[in-house]
């Protein structure tokens, strides 16, 4: 009886050991599998992050090359999908804006009467308090370096209204490209110069017929506005360097990457003046 009881006890202990080892082994396997999945997902996320960043970065160069060699291939200020790269779970979109079509406010603190009059009319049209302009032209703001600095002296609402009409990097002073300037910029300019603001809509509509020339402006009774409106035939040099803001947006699966860059380009090369990755 004692021997039989000992055998039973031994078998019970062995069974407990087997169950314990099995439990530990199963737990280890699940832990290993979970850790592996986490590592694989982290590696895939890092891979997609890097791919998205470098695709977004390359897209800036893609826009520059097209502006330089095939300027009509990417419409101004419209999102364009790059077909060669976009496939499967990957999509690359780009958009560019001509900084020459915006008001250069980098020297607003210098009390330039033309610039201040233009801005005053724009603020009036947009419903922004003129006191904001008084703060902008304060001597402490002789020269802004970045557009975001304006946000320090503007409310969120006012900054959102004006951001798309201002630049710090245009090569034009008190002048905008008539072919790319937003309607609001044209309207405020005409209002400031005592012209019929309704002609701004005529200019925008005329763009559909091709680049606007000085002769066409004269037909619109705006021949004296070439001081402020750069036309296709008034550009000093066909190789003159231009400044553009480029937006690239990349989606890979559920991962996205954005880059906003301002580039000065022309004569077969470009220089980055501003760069932000998001």
Token pair of 86 as six digits: 């976009």
pLDDT at 10: 65
pLDDT band at 137 (very low <50, low <70, confident <90, very high): confident
Total domains in the chain come to 1
Q: Is 268 part of any domain?
A: yes
pLDDT above 90: residue 145? no
- Chain segment 185-195, per-residue pLDDT in tens: 999 999 999 99
* pLDDT band per the 50, 70, 90 thresholds, residue 267: confident
Q: Cα(48)–Cα(54) distance, rounded to whole angstroms?
A: 10
Contact between residue 186 and residue 225 where contact means Cβ atoms under 8 Å apart: no
Residue 133 lies inside a defined structural domain of this protein: no
Residue 66 reports pLDDT greater than 80: yes
Buried/exposed code over 165-181 (b: 16+ C-beta within 10 A; e: otherwise): bbbbbbebebbbbbbbb
- How far apart, in whole angstroms, are the C-alpha atoms of residue 40 and residue 33? 10
Tell me whether residue 245 is in a domain.
yes
**Cα–Cα dist 86/91, whole Å:** 4
**Which residue would you say has higher pLDDT here, 22 or 228?**
228
Winning range, highest mean pLDDT, from 27-31, 41-45, 242-246 = 242-246
- Taking 80 as the threshold, does the pLDDT of residue 236 lie above it? no
Report pLDDT for 8. 57
Please check whether residue 65 lies inside any domain of the structure. Answer: yes
Report residue 12's pLDDT band, with 50, 70 and 90 as the boundaries.
low
**Dist CA 247 CA 243 (whole Å):** 13
Q: Mind listing the pLDDT tens digit for each residue in 122-136?
A: 999 999 999 999 888
How far apart, in whole angstroms, are the C-alpha atoms of residue 229 and residue 101? 9
CA distance 105 to 98: 15
For residue 273, give the CATH number of its domain: 3.30.1300.30
Does the residue 82 lie in any domain? Answer: yes
Domain that holds residue 94: 42-99+241-277
DSSP structure class, residue 87: B
**Chain CA centroid to CA 218, Å:** 35
SS3 content of the chain, % helix, strand, coil (to 5): 50, 20, 30
Q: Is 60 contained in some domain? A: yes
Instruction: Establish if 56 belongs to a structural domain.
Output: yes
The answer on pLDDT for 42 being more than 60 is: yes
Beta strands (DSSP E) in 153-192 are: 166-167, 176-177
pLDDT at 63 over 60: yes
Q: Which of 200, 219, 180, 19 is nearest to 96 (CA)?
A: 180
Q: How many CA atoms lie within 13 A of 110 on its CB side?
A: 11
The confidence score (pLDDT) of residue 253 equals 84
pTM of the model: 0.81
Domain for residue 198, yes or no?
no
The whole-angstrom separation of Cα 189 and Cα 102 is: 11
């Amino acid at each position: 009886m004692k021997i039989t009881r000992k055998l039973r006890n031994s078998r019970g202990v062995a069974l407990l050991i087997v169950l314990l080892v099995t439990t530990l082994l199963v737990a280890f396997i699940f832990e290993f599998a979970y850790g592996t999945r986490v590592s694989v997902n982290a590696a895939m996320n890092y891979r997609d992050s890097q791919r998205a960043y470098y695709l977004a970065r390359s897209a800036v160069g893609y826009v520059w090359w097209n502006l330089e060699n095939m300027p009509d291939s990417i419409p101004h200020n419209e999102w364009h999908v790059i077909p060669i790269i976009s496939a499967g779970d990957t999509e690359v979109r780009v958009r560019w804006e001509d900084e020459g079509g915006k008001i250069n406010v980098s020297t607003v603190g210098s009390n330039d009467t033309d610039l201040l009059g233009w801005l005053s009319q724009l603020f009036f049209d947009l419903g922004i308090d003129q006191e904001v302009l008084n703060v902008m032209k304060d001597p402490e703001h002789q020269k802004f370096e970045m557009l975001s600095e304006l946000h320090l002296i503007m409310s969120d609402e006012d900054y959102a209204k004006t951001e798309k009409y201002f630049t710090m990097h245009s090569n034009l002073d008190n002048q905008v490209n008539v072919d790319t300037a937003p309607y609001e910029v044209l309207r405020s300019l005409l209002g400031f110069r005592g012209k019929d603001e309704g002609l701004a809509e005529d200019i925008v509509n005329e763009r559909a017929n091709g680049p606007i020339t000085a002769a066409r402006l004269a037909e619109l009774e705006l021949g004296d506005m070439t001081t402020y409106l750069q036309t296709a035939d008034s550009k000093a040099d066909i190789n003159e360097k231009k400044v553009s803001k480029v937006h690239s947006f990349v989606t890979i699966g559920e991962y996205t990457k954005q880059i906003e860059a301002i580039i000065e380009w022309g004569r077969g090369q470009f220089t980055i003046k501003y760069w932000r990755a998001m």
